[in-house]
Amino acid sequence: MNKKFYITTAITYASRKPHVGNTYEIIFSDAIARFKRMQGYDVHFCTGTDEHGQKIEELAKKEGIEPKKYVDMISSQIKEIWDKMNASYDTFIRTTDKHHIDVVQKIFKKLYDNGDIYLSKYEGWYCIPCESFWTDTQLVDGKCPDCHRKVNKTKEDAYFFRMSKYQGKLMKYIRDNIDFIMPKSRENEIINNFLKPGLQDLCISRKSFKWGIPVSFDPDHVVYVWLDALVNYITAIGYDPDRSSDKFQNLWPADLHVIGKDILRFHTVYWPIILMALDLPLPKQIFGHPWLLAGTSKMSKSVGNVMYADDLSELFSVDAIRFYLLSSMPYSHDGSITYDTIISTWNSELANTLGNLVKRTCDMICKYFDGVIPEVDVETELDDELKSFCVSSFKKYEKLMNEYKVSDAIFAVMSLARRANKYIDETTPWILIKDTKDHGRLKTVLYNLMESIRFISVMLKPIMPQAAEDILKQICSDYNSFDSLKQFGKLKSGVKIEKPQILFNRIDEAKKLKEIEQFNHDNNAELESLPENLITINDFSKVSLKVFEVLECEKLKKSKKLLKLYLDGGNKQIQVVSGIANWYEPEALIGKKVIVVANLKPAKICGEESQGMILAADASEDDVRVIFVDSSVPNGSEIH
Ligand SMILES: [Zn+2]
């Protein structure tokens, strides 16, 4: 039986469509999963969506729909992007799945029964977006230390997890298992910032909102969204405190959790402790990947620099975006994405280096050998160098991929492509063809180039699955496994290839940037949801503003604040009740022209019908000024 490899991404919070930075994680994990499968592992690749919490409850409310409906929508959007990016996951778990909910409740109960969870009172500060409680001393400038947003004072009954009980055990575990937290630099962060100062017991239930998994024995409380989310790694593969599935027995512990560096604390402190309390083995490795920045700043909707993977793959291609993300994200420090750098990567790496190599080589085979891959004939030392470069590139690549240094691994592959291009220049096939006595040499050169292309494409399979497959098909390769890269010369000769297609056409940068601008303009106009304080021109056009003349005006007997006005709007007359009696005598208004919201739903105010609203300005704290219109403007004029 093959060795298993259980790999997970963090589940994505179903609050909104994930940007390309969030999508990096699934693509990175997918590359690792594909790589491990090619190494012969029985890979189980798990991803999904995290769907509970106050933030989602509020977003759904804003949309006027039930939270479940909201997360259904976002979760399927996320899954669509994962699928589009060719993510080869085996399980897509949603924290609203019934099995997950049942097991979270059982886990909570079990931990409570064991004494790891206890009921107490919480008083402190709460950050809604982070769903985190903070003490006075944890706040930074009175704001959330994680996201720097404002926090709200909260006091409520809450269940707590006895984190402190496991602190020593966890410290020891991290010290004994040097590969547990990767990259290594992040381990110190966790030890020094969180473990050494001492662990506080963790507040693990919420009463302030409803959208969560209820605590089974105290349903006023919902389970803290982080506990709910973290245990997805075990519920997804069939964990159950009563009786776990065989699948769980086989797959757990996870071999690799891939997560963003910002949630490392949850995965290297809370998660291991939860597992210890459940008496389960800890995951073997946790990899905190860096962030993808838009240029040099964090991607954010309010800044307006957000890019989406599905848009990018339409503008370029799925494989090109995978290649870009995987090759340009460093191992431990943040990467960057801009349209310019995607275009330059495309042109230099994909078009000039890889595409050109394949096209040139296949073209020459078609031209010189009628498309039939030649056999090796006359060899020189130059060939040995290329051959050993191929084999050593694979070794390098495999070692780096095993260490999850994906961008370095890609660099090794592309170095081979550059080496092969150089081999063309060194051997000058276009001169060899001219003299029949050089044809033996020409055969060898073209065979070696084809075999180098095979090496490159097999290594690129986890990175660009489709493009790699296309190239392998182009060169008619039957040998596409890692095993076949241990030795140079597996490609069959005597096989006839098709006329080569261009894989990556060179991009005209100026033209492409224009196209991108147009694309973003078209898309954003309809799809982007707007920052909270803005409306679209369509929203505004729903409001009908018209000029009305005050025909009559009187005080309303039942109220000191209200005036009743009869207004003429040209083709119709209406009655409006307005709260301006403090500032205007009725006589002063008669004959004046005012602006009225003319399509307001009629309402009864103090028993009087009001069919519109008069616009007025808050001139100062205790002064209201009606906005008058010049008397020359005809009654009923539309205001835009
Ligand atoms: Zn926060």
Domain residue limits, the chain = 338-485, 543-639
Asked whether 554 and 586 are in contact (CB, 8 A), the reply is yes
Q: What's residue 197's pLDDT?
A: 85
Which DSSP helix (H) or strand (E) runs through 639?
strand 638-639
Least confident piece of the model among 117-126, 272-281, 400-409: 117-126
* 3-class secondary structure, 294: strand
634 vs 133: which has the higher pLDDT: 634
Distance from Cα 258 to the centre of ligand 1, integer Å: 22
Going through 248-381 in order, the beta strands assigned E by DSSP cover 256-260, 286-289, 292-294, 335-337
Which DSSP helix (H) or strand (E) runs through 589?
helix 586-589
Task: Report the distance separating Cα 309 and Cα 306, nearest Å.
Answer: 10
pLDDT higher than threshold 80 for residue 82: yes
Q: What's residue 460's pLDDT?
A: 98
Task: Report the distance separating Cα 486 and Cα 429, nearest Å.
Answer: 27
* 3-class secondary structure, 65: coil
Distance from Cα 150 to the centre of ligand 1, integer Å: 8
Q: What's residue 532's pLDDT?
A: 56
- Superfamily, domain 543-639: Nucleic acid-binding proteins (2.40.50.140)
Asked whether 181 and 286 are in contact (CB, 8 A), the reply is yes
Task: Report the distance separating Cα 270 and Cα 229, nearest Å.
Answer: 11
Q: Which residues contact 491 (CB under 8 A, 6 or more apart)?
A: 373, 447, 450, 451, 454, 475, 477, 479
Q: What's residue 533's pLDDT?
A: 59
Which DSSP helix (H) or strand (E) runs through 442?
helix 439-460
Task: Report the distance separating Cα 197 and Cα 143, nearest Å.
Answer: 21
pLDDT higher than threshold 90 for residue 318: yes
Distance from Cα 474 to the centre of ligand 1, integer Å: 51
Q: Smallest Cα–Cα separation from 468: which of 478, 479, 456, 482?
A: 456
pLDDT higher than threshold 60 for residue 190: yes
pLDDT in tens, 508-546: 999 999 999 998 888 765 445 555 556 766 677 778 899
Least confident piece of the model among 220-229, 441-450, 525-534: 525-534
Distance from Cα 145 to the centre of ligand 1, integer Å: 7
Spell out the alpha helix ranges (H) of 329-380.
339-345, 356-369
Q: What's residue 195's pLDDT?
A: 86
Share of the chain above pLDDT 70, in %: 98
Q: What is the mean pLDDT of residues 543-568?
A: 91
When the pLDDT of each residue in the chain is averaged and rounded to a whole number, the result is 93
Distance from Cα 143 to the centre of ligand 1, integer Å: 8
Q: Which residues contact 182 (CB under 8 A, 6 or more apart)?
A: 285, 286, 287, 288, 404
Phi and psi at 250, nearest 5°, equal -80, -40
Q: What is the mean pLDDT of residues 219-235?
A: 96
Asked whether 553 and 586 are in contact (CB, 8 A), the reply is yes
CA angle 620, 621, 624 (to 5 degrees): 60
Q: What's residue 531's pLDDT?
A: 54
Distance from Cα 501 to the centre of ligand 1, integer Å: 51
Token representation of residue 153: 């004072």
pLDDT higher than threshold 90 for residue 560: no
Give me Rg for the CA atoms of the chain: 33
Distance from Cα 218 to the centre of ligand 1, integer Å: 27
Distance from Cα 127 to the centre of ligand 1, integer Å: 5
Token representation of residue 430: 């276009």
Token representation of residue 14: 């179903």
The identity of residue 161, as a single letter, is: F
Task: Report the distance separating Cα 554 and Cα 589, nearest Å.
Answer: 10
Distance from Cα 149 to the centre of ligand 1, integer Å: 6
| Range ranked top by mean pLDDT from 469-473, 541-545, 595-599 | 469-473
pLDDT higher than threshold 80 for residue 564: yes
* 3-class secondary structure, 431: helix
628-629 vs 91-94, strand pairing mode: unpaired
Share of the chain above pLDDT 90, in %: 77
Q: Which residues contact 247 (CB under 8 A, 6 or more apart)?
A: 237, 238
The identity of residue 279, as a single letter, is: D
Distance from Cα 545 to the centre of ligand 1, integer Å: 41
pLDDT higher than threshold 90 for residue 301: no
Q: What's residue 272's pLDDT?
A: 97
Q: What is the mean pLDDT of residues 11-18?
A: 95
621 vs 207: which has the higher pLDDT: 207
Distance from Cα 151 to the centre of ligand 1, integer Å: 7
pLDDT higher than threshold 90 for residue 481: yes
Q: Is 105 left (phi over 0), alpha (psi -120 to 50) or beta?
A: alpha
Asked whether 524 and 536 are in contact (CB, 8 A), the reply is no
pTM value? 0.80
Distance from Cα 468 to the centre of ligand 1, integer Å: 42
Distance from Cα 612 to the centre of ligand 1, integer Å: 42
Distance from Cα 284 to the centre of ligand 1, integer Å: 29
The residue whose two tokens read 């496991």 is 166
pLDDT in tens, 392-430: 999 999 999 999 999 999 999 999 999 999 999 999 999
* 3-class secondary structure, 326: helix
Distance from Cα 270 to the centre of ligand 1, integer Å: 18
Token representation of residue 127: 């950050």
Task: Report the distance separating Cα 218 and Cα 206, nearest Å.
Answer: 11
Q: What's residue 1's pLDDT?
A: 64
Distance from Cα 530 to the centre of ligand 1, integer Å: 22
Task: Report the distance separating Cα 82 and Cα 533, nearest Å.
Answer: 31
Q: Per CATH, the architecture of 338-485 is what?
A: Orthogonal Bundle (1.10)
**CA 472 to chain CA centroid, nearest Å:** 31
pLDDT higher than threshold 90 for residue 591: yes
Q: Is 142 left (phi over 0), alpha (psi -120 to 50) or beta?
A: left
pLDDT higher than threshold 90 for residue 130: no
Please report the sign of the dihedral spanned by the C-alpha atoms of residue 345, residue 351, residue 355, residue 356: negative
Q: Smallest Cα–Cα separation from 451: which of 550, 555, 379, 528?
A: 379
338-485 matches 543-639 in fold: no
Token representation of residue 166: 């496991």
Distance from Cα 309 to the centre of ligand 1, integer Å: 26
The residue whose two tokens read 């933030």 is 55
CA angle 247, 249, 254 (to 5 degrees): 90
Distance from Cα 67 to the centre of ligand 1, integer Å: 21
DSSP per-residue letters across 154-188: EEEEEEEE-GGGGHHHHHHHHHH-TTSEESHHHHH
Q: How far from 527 is each of 12, 75, 523, CA to CA, in Å?
A: 21, 17, 6
The identity of residue 281, as a single letter, is: P
Q: Smallest Cα–Cα separation from 96: which of 74, 64, 63?
A: 74
Q: What's residue 10's pLDDT?
A: 97
Q: How far from 584 is each of 321, 553, 563, 573, 588, CA to CA, in Å?
A: 64, 10, 9, 21, 7
pLDDT higher than threshold 80 for residue 341: yes
End-to-end CA distance of the chain: 74
